């Protein structure tokens, strides 16, 4: 029997709230579930499973210290602490608590690192010089890579796009982002033509489903397979450590900012809830800074 059913049904109530009222994605709800189960297993082992109202800040601090001792990263620990904050806030909302035990709990500081990205010229090489197989697999993989870089959409957003989400008359595409929030993104005429040709070929060669992208068997693309071929192709044109679909999202945002796009515009295109998430992209490449310096400083 799970820790949720055995000791704290309040957890399931909270997870249902996230899924059905907040409309969080299945992956996000599962992350909350894992964090909360881990914490309450710790409470069972260390404090004989106290009632929600008897959970003290000391218990939480001890758990966080244990996580640090297990070499869990500060980012992961902060996420787990955030899960607890949301959980206790919900308990207050439901009248189960008068105050949250998280009020006096401090989480470790995160060293902010600039997001990695692929250089513009390297991505131009990918689409202009790298050869993709002239079959359904090759056409799909090239188009997926191009759509990632052209829109900055997330992996889960891309693999769930339906054919009807592409509006050819308005040159735009609709995606379903975090929290089931829809957003509309513009796409270039060149990309639009490629999508139109892709869908046309799919209708004649594959027993289609309504997903925009399919593998050669006519089935929806899976996250793992997309991650694999993105890593494969990025390895051809860049030496950066991370080579994932999310790096193409970083590249999209960074290149927009470096070419004069406003922070608000990038925020809307990425589907961020606040500017704070977008501000990491206000950095410039060293080459960009050198160029600005040469043009602006009299002694350059």
Residue 177 dihedral angles phi and psi, to the nearest 5°: -95, -160
Q: Would you state the structure tokens that stand for residue 47, as one six-digit string?
A: 């404090």
CA–CA distances in Å: residue 98 to residues 8, 61, 67, 95, 102: 18, 20, 27, 7, 12
Query: Residue 210: CB partners within 8 Å, gap ≥ 6?
Result: 162, 163, 164
Cβ distance 201 to 164 under 8 Å? Answer: no
Centre a 10 Å sphere on the Cβ of residue 235 and count the other Cβ atoms it contains.
Answer: 11
Report how far residue 144's alpha carbon sits from residue 232's, in angstroms, rounded to the nearest whole number: 13
Question: In this structure, what DSSP letter does residue 18 have?
Answer: I
E-strand ranges in 94-223 read 166-167, 172-176, 182-186
Report how far residue 300's alpha carbon sits from residue 291's, in angstroms, rounded to the nearest whole number: 10
Query: Residue 256: CB partners within 8 Å, gap ≥ 6?
Result: 265, 266, 269, 281
Residues designated catalytic: 154, 178, 246, 249, 272, 281
């Amino acid at each position: 029997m799970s820790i949720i059913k055995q000791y704290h049904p309040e957890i399931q109530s909270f997870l249902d709230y996230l899924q059905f009222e907040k409309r969080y994605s299945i992956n996000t709800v599962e992350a909350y579930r894992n964090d909360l189960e881990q914490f309450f297993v710790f409470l069972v082992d260390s404090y004989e499973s106290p009632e929600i109202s008897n959970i003290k800040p000391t218990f939480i601090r001890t758990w966080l210290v244990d996580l640090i001792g297990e070499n869990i990263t500060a980012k992961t620990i902060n996420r787990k602490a955030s899960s607890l904050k949301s959980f206790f806030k919900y308990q207050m909302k439901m009248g189960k608590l008068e105050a949250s035990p998280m009020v006096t709990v401090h989480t470790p500081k995160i060293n902010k690192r600039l997001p990695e990205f692929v250089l513009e010229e390297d991505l131009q090489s990918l689409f202009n010089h790298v050869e993709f197989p002239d079959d359904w697999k090759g056409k799909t993989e090239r188009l997926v890579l191009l759509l990632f870089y052209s829109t900055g959409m997330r992996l889960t957003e891309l693999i769930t796009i339906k054919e009807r989400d592409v509006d050819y008359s308005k040159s735009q595409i609709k995606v379903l982002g975090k929290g089931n929030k829809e957003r509309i993104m513009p796409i270039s005429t060149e990309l639009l033509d490629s999508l139109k040709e892709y869908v046309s070929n799919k209708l004649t060669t594959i027993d289609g489903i309504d997903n925009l992208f399919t593998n050669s068997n006519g089935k929806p693309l899976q996250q793992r397979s997309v991650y694999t071929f993105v890593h494969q192709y990025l390895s051809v044109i860049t030496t950066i450590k991370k080579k994932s679909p999310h790096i193409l999202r970083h590249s999209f945002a960074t290149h927009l900012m470096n070419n004069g796009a406003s922070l608000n515009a990038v925020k809307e295109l990425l589907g961020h809830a606040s500017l704070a998430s977008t501000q990491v992209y206000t950095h410039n490449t060293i080459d960009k800074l050198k160029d600005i310096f040469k043009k602006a400083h009299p002694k350059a």
